[in-house]
Amino acid sequence: MRFPFVRCVSVLAAMLLVLVPATAQVVVVNNGPVTIANAADITTFATADDFTLSATATFNAIRFWALDTAGDPALLDQFSGTLSWFIHNNGAGIPDPAILASGTVSGGIMLTDTGVNLLFTNQRIFQLDFSVPDTTLPAGTYWLRLKENTPTDPSDASFVYWVWRGGQSGNTLRISGDEVNPANWSNGIADLAYQLRFNAAPAAAIPEPGTLALLLVGGVMTGAGVLRRRRG
């Protein structure tokens, strides 16, 4: 006769595991989509921008804004769907050759149409979001580099551009003509638009008292039904 009670408790436990939405913390902000902007090629060139952390921080997602200059101007149809990312140390105002963290994402990139066109052109700006492993960096200055396709793939002749904005925070963006083994970095004239984010995993939450009461009633009724079936 103990079985119905065990089943009832199991049902209640499952019902109490209500997930709350995941929360996101922006660790680094280098602006967002803006109409007064231009863009830097991340297919044919190595492209990077610096950021400074005032304290140790962890991120596990990257958001940036991009467009293409060919194909349908309302689509990011030149993007291969594969993207590589790199975190470099700061080497006297340019990305240091040593790579602190990196990875390649394929098929897991979320594209969001911002509805904004680059000023004076028909190129539509898209927001791109993708997850990366938890990456912790101490206070200091670093460089984020993005490259379309895998780290060792040369240009595939597409036209994907990382949006930049006017103004400057720290160093301006840097560009190298060798997208696989970048060196001889040249200066840009603005900052690239991106964010490093920490997305917390969803957590189990105990329902509010009113909801809890309803769940308890439902659980008891479920247990009673099981008991009646066993007695029958």
Q: Kindly list the averaged pLDDT for each block of 10 residues, start to end, along the chain of length 232.
A: 36 41 74 72 94 94 91 86 96 94 94 86 89 96 95 86 79 92 90 90 55 45 45 53
According to DSSP, the residues that pair with 163 across neighbouring strands are 39
What pLDDT was estimated at residue 165? 78
Q: Are 55 and 139 in contact (CB under 8 A)?
A: yes
What pLDDT was estimated at residue 36? 65
Instruction: For residue 70, count other CB atoms closer than 10 A to its CB.
Output: 12
pTM over 0.85: no
pLDDT tens readout for residues 171-218: 889 999 999 999 999 988 888 999 999 987 765 555 555 544 444 444
